Amino acid sequence: MAAYARVAQRARGLDLSLSVKAPPLRFDPVSLRELAQIARQSGLSLVFDAHGPQDADETLAAVERLLPDFPETGIVLPARWQRSQADAAWLRDSSAPVRVVRGEWPDPAGDAVDPDAAYLALVEALAGRAAPVAIATHRPALADRALALLRDAGTPCSLEQLRGLPGRRCRAVARGQGVPVRLYVPFGPGWIPYALDRALARPYLLAWMWRDWTGRADP
């Protein structure tokens, strides 16, 4: 809680969002409301990161409690979960900003056979809403199609890129569509899963970086 407050103070007046992980705060309504107030005082929006499927209901409940007084409260929806379509329908007419991600945790009911199709189906379910939708992907073709869906429907949108991962081609896609790019910067003990040195242990990353710098298409 104290770490979030310090970050919010340092970011005062900047066009930023503060992404929070509610499970370590035990979804405590008092703490989350205090955090939303701190974010507002610094001119930031509060966004609830996605966690495992077991935390999804409590995360949505936390957002629902805050929205009446903090309409800029946002949430992350993982495209790989089947439940996200229903969650998108619930959020569609709300003021909550939504970030669409592929998702780290598998769906207990079974992951989609085609992850890209599931991602685009979720984006399509959100297209047409008045509140903004952020597209979080490092795949240029997927970013291009997802952003086009939102723009064609008149939905304000942005591209989000994770700091430290290749993003040159995706940023070019966003520029081509006139869409702003935002950078996701992890901080605190929770940054470890996002660390680039851990990512370098993945054998495909070097090839991914090479494609990003040479402009070659995804395989």
Q: Exposed e or buried b for every residue in 22-41, given b needs 16+ CB within 10 A?
A: beebebeeeebeebbebbbe
Contact present, 153 and 160 (Cβ < 8 Å): no
pLDDT score at 191: 46
| Amino acid at the residue 65 | R
Residue 23's nearest CA partner among 59, 68, 77 is 59
Pair 99, 122: CB distance under 8 Å? no
Structural contact between residues 170 and 138, judged by C-beta atoms closer than 8 angstroms: yes
Structure tokens at 113: 């056979």
Give percent of the chain above pLDDT 90.
72
Where is 161: in which H helix or E strand? strand 157-162
- State how far the alpha carbon of 95 is from the alpha carbons of 10, 37, 92, 141, 148, in Å: 26, 17, 8, 28, 21
Q: Which residues contact 95 (CB under 8 A, 6 or more apart)?
A: 67, 71, 72, 130, 131
pTM recorded for the entire structure: 0.86
Tokens matching residue 16: 């930023």
156-177 per-position pLDDT tens digit: 999 999 887 888 999 999 999 9
pLDDT value for 199: 52
Contact of 95 with 133, CB cutoff 8 Å: no
Question: In whole angstroms, what is the distance from residue 179 CA to residue 124 CA?
Answer: 17
More confident site: 167 or 119: 119
- Tally the residues of the chain: 219
* Choice among 6-10, 62-66, 113-117 with the minimum mean pLDDT: 6-10
Q: Copy the structure tokens of residue 210.
A: 């090479």
Residue 147: pLDDT above 50?
yes
Res 217: pLDDT: 54
106-134: average pLDDT:
96
